[in-house]
Amino acid sequence: MAGSGAPKLYRAIIDTLQAEIASGKYKAGDRLPPERELVERFDVSRLTLREAMIGMEIIGLVEARRGSGVYVTERSSEMLSPSELDIGAFELTEARRLVEGECAALAAVTADADDITDLRMILDRMIEENERELLDEVADREFHLRIAQATRNDAILLVVETLWDVRHRSPLCMKMLERSRRSGVKPRIDDHRAIVDAIAANDATGARKAMRDHLGRVIDNLLTATEMDGIERVRAEAAELRSRTQRFAPI
């Protein structure tokens, strides 16, 4: 069994591919194998592999080209090391799903009328942020911390605050969340409203499920936003086919 000092899976992938690039197996300009092959080779999920690929982009080893794949770049003396990446968004959101699901369940038991009023007011601000297309997601963070406050448990509040603070301290996490925002993903108002409604109804089971479902969808959105070989490639191929058809269409 791996000890506590064992490297994270995405770090192990980066270390292996970095060594292969250094050995000349993959040279500058070479395309890395497609996602499917790397998933099978390293026996990991697509989420873990995408964390690794985005991490390799951040440290300057590769670049992702839309509709084409991931390519090795020219080596730079200013590259970051894999140890500077810290925690990825998938890993973080998985932890949040576990912690905040139970947090919401407890809040459904402990929250009072003032807590519910505050949560609904924050939800209104979240709607406004979405309409103004603000990227800071201040209201989203405030919403989740307010639920933690409603548990009346300072230890839980500290844990939830820490998980949110990691979002801004980790280069890998921020890069992945930026991609998600660029793809048009915004805080889901219906998800958050379902959480408040369950807490207001003192429905611990419903609150837990609503929070876990919400953060499960956050993971799904990250997966879609970091698609490397799927949607964009199909779109590019379709656009090229339309272009060729139009060039040779009869006048």
What are the boundaries of each domain within the chain?
9-84, 89-225
Contact call for residues 30 and 71 (beta carbons, < 8 A)? yes
pLDDT (0 to 100) of residue 105:
98
- The residue whose two tokens read 């799927």 is 230
β-pair partners for 31: 71
Contact call for residues 143 and 123 (beta carbons, < 8 A)? yes
pLDDT (0 to 100) of residue 137:
76
How many whole angstroms separate alpha carbon 166 and alpha carbon 177?
A: 12
- Within 8 A by CB and 6+ apart from 82, the residues are 11, 14, 15, 18, 55, 59
Domain at 89-225, CATH class:
mainly alpha
Identify the helix (H) or strand (E) that includes residue 238: helix 231-247
Equal fold, 9-84 vs 89-225: no
9-84 has which CATH code? 1.10.10.10
pLDDT (0 to 100) of residue 79:
55
pLDDT (0 to 100) of residue 10:
87
Per 3-state DSSP, the chain is made up of helix, strand and coil in percentages (nearest 5) of 70, 5, 30
Contact call for residues 143 and 192 (beta carbons, < 8 A)? yes
Q: What are the φ/ψ torsions at residue 70 (nearest 5 degrees)?
A: -115, 130
What the block records as the tokens of 127 is 């709607």
* Max intra-chain CA distance, the chain: 73
pLDDT (0 to 100) of residue 209:
97
Per residue of the chain (251 residues), give pLDDT as tens.
334 455 678 889 999 999 999 899 999 999 999 999 999 999 998 888 988 898 888 888 898 887 788 999 976 545 556 656 777 888 888 899 999 999 999 999 999 999 999 999 999 999 988 887 665 678 999 999 999 999 999 999 999 999 998 888 888 888 777 777 766 666 689 999 999 999 999 999 999 999 999 999 988 888 877 765 444 444 454 455 555 445 544 44
pLDDT (0 to 100) of residue 4:
45
